Amino acid sequence: MNRSSALKLIFIAAAFAGASLAFYSSRIGRLERVEASTINETTIAAGSDPAKSRAAFSESVKVFFSARCSNCHPGGDGPTQGDTMTPHSMEIKRGPDGRGIGEQKCTTCHQDINLDGDGLPPGAPNWHMPGEANKMAFQGISAGQLCRNLKDPLKNGGRKSAKDAVHHIATDPLVLWAWTPGNGRTTPPMSHADFIKKMNEWVDNGAACPE
């Protein structure tokens, strides 16, 4: 075999090996390769159950919309009161920090505990509304909008994720007060334990929101 023939054989063998490798890579790589840049919250959520997540939130949102929670989360600047969510007496306003204006501070009447007696103010530690910069309204919005707000740090009190928001409602004494409001006041439509269970179910399945 002369030099020219030998070079041709080497070239053909190399070409065949390259084609085989490309074919094998295309068959295998398509199934196994995952670009690191595609591993994000969207990819993770794709493995969850959005329908289950939305259903869990649709159940738990009844707590947010109940009087015990919504009275201090109005759409405007004045809290509401009672099971009928009527405007607060004395025309109380939230103020810049959510604690009232001037002499009409929330804690002037609302102490650290419920005052025992019909018509007397309820109380819990750190009684206040959300401040003007972040009103966190529950009244006057849809379940879907509330769901999206809970995931937005600009609207949920600076909490970085839905999981952080759930931690807040699971542990904050002012939130927990809603289940021990005293003096015959109604409580939210599900227990706190069931509420947190549903909220965790919402988060664990992708924190999907109702339309």
**Mean pLDDT of all residues in 160-165:** 95
**Mean pLDDT of all residues in 184-204:** 97
In the block, residue with structure tokens 């199934």: 31
In the block, residue with structure tokens 């990819």: 43
User: Residue 79: which residues within 8 A CB-CB, separation 6 or more?
Assistant: 71, 72, 88, 92, 94, 129
Percent of the chain with pLDDT over 70: 78
Residue by residue, DSSP assigns the chain as --HHHHHHHHHHHHHHHHHHHHHHHHHHHHHH---GGG-SHHHHHHTS-HHHHHHHHHHHHHHHTSHHHHTTS-SSSS-EETTTTEEPGGG----TTSSEETTEEHHHH--SSPPSSTTPPP--TT--PPPTT-----TTS-HHHHHHHHT-TTTTTS-SSHHHHHHHHHH-HHHHGGGS--TT----SS-HHHHHHHHHHHHHTT-----
Instruction: Assess whether pLDDT exceeds 80 at residue 144.
Output: yes
Which has the minimum average pLDDT: 40-44, 48-52, 86-90? 40-44
- pLDDT per position as a tens digit, 107-131: 999 999 999 998 899 999 999 999 9
Contact 94, 157 (CB under 8 A): no
**Mean pLDDT of all residues in 24-30:** 38
How sure is the predictor about 9, in pLDDT bands with cuts at 50, 70 and 90? very low
pTM (2 d.p.): 0.77
How sure is the predictor about 94, in pLDDT bands with cuts at 50, 70 and 90? very high
